[in-house]
A and B are shown apart, each in its own frame.
Chain A
Amino acid sequence: MISCKECRELLPILLDGGLDKNQRFDVEEHLKACQTCHAEVARVATIISHLRYAAHWQPATPPPPVIALPSH
């Protein structure tokens, strides 16, 4: 079984959907057996959810500028 350190490194990528099948299995098996790491799942998932939500908000963007382009 993978260590807590390895699990911690892989957990954000698992929750982002970026692990391959084998890695996903390793992390999920660790999480079943380790309450400490399991407790981290909700915290990390919340942050990823915040990031995805924040992506739907845009900073006030100025209009495209007119740039003086030198000839090639």
Chain B
Amino acid sequence: MDEQRLIERAKQGDSIAFDKLLQRYWAKIYRLAFSLVGATLADDVAIETFEIAWQKLNQFRGSSEFGTWLFRIAVRTAHRHLRSPVSHYEETWADFVPDDDLLYSDPKEILRQREDVQQVHWALQQLPLPLREVVVLRFFEDLSYAQIAEVLGCSETAVRKRLAKAIHQLTDLLNTPTQFRPQSEASEK
């Protein structure tokens, strides 16, 4: 069934139709929540996003894509869950698995790359949430500047400024030797 029909049915109270929407978007919303609030809170934020979406479904007019609307709810929910704008990477440490197209690479190379990916996520967690969210929406969710502006309720100019600031901070973080070491390396010493 196409998405529009599922949405219309869910609006009429069809929880099975809504569950199908949840199945479609769960991984995307979980991943967004994970990147914004870390592993500890990701599940709560993702579930609450869908609970709010169900409650507010009649407010969805279709002026944006359904996924964009869900992203907006998820970002607001993430803000509410984070007491501090900066969370700590210890709380968000998690394993990552590559997309299928990377699975056939050299295993040693995959391990090294996994540590690089964990380091990127560590650096992201050091950013204040307003900077982290533009990076996540742009690079992990592949949204355009216009879509990000729609999700965050700000102008495209503001998105560009925040993104530039975030990338400069990440550049400084990832080019400066820090206490951070991937766990596997630390445990060998």
Q: Interface of A with B (CB < 8 Å)?
A: 8-13, 16, 18, 43-44, 46-48, 50-67, 69-72
Q: How far is the CB of B72 from chain A (nearest CB, A)?
A: 19
Contact indicator B117/A53 (Cβ below 8 Å): yes
How many cross-chain pairs have Cβ atoms below 8 Å apart between A and B? 115
- Cα-based distance from A44 to B169 in the complex (angstroms): 10
| Known A12-B167, A18-B145, A43-B175; contact A72-B39, beta-carbon cutoff 8 A | no
Can you offer 5 A-B residue contacts whose CB atoms are under 8 A? A12-B164, A16-B167, A54-B117, A70-B54, A71-B13
- 0/1 interface trace, chain B 128-154, chain A, CB 8 Å (1 if under): 000000010011101001000000000
Q: How far is the CB of A64 from chain B (nearest CB, A)?
A: 4
Decide if B106 is an interface residue (CB 8 Å cutoff). no
Contact indicator B116/A53 (Cβ below 8 Å): yes
Residues of B within 8 A of A44 (CB): 167-168, 171
Among B51, B145, B174, which residue has its beta carbon within 8 angstroms of that of A67? B51
Listed stretches B25-33, B63-71, B73-81, B177-185; interface member: B25-33
Residues of B within 8 A of A58 (CB): 27, 31, 96-99
Known: A11-B164, A65-B47. 7 other contacts (CB 8 A): A13-B163, A16-B138, A48-B167, A50-B116, A56-B101, A58-B98, A64-B23
Decide if B86 is an interface residue (CB 8 Å cutoff). no
- Cα-based distance from A16 to B93 in the complex (angstroms): 28
Count of residues in B whose CB is under 8 Å from the partner chain: 53
- 0/1 interface trace, chain B 37-78, chain A, CB 8 Å (1 if under): 001001100010011001101100000000000000000000
Q: How far is the CB of A15 from chain B (nearest CB, A)?
A: 8
Residues of A within 8 A of B55 (CB): 70
Contact indicator A50/B163 (Cβ below 8 Å): no
Contact indicator B170/A72 (Cβ below 8 Å): no
Decide if B22 is an interface residue (CB 8 Å cutoff). yes
* Chain B, Cβ-Cβ closest to A63: B26
Contact indicator A57/B167 (Cβ below 8 Å): no
Q: How far is the CB of B96 from chain A (nearest CB, A)?
A: 4
Among A47, A48, A54, which residue has its beta carbon within 8 angstroms of that of B140? A54
Decide if B82 is an interface residue (CB 8 Å cutoff). no
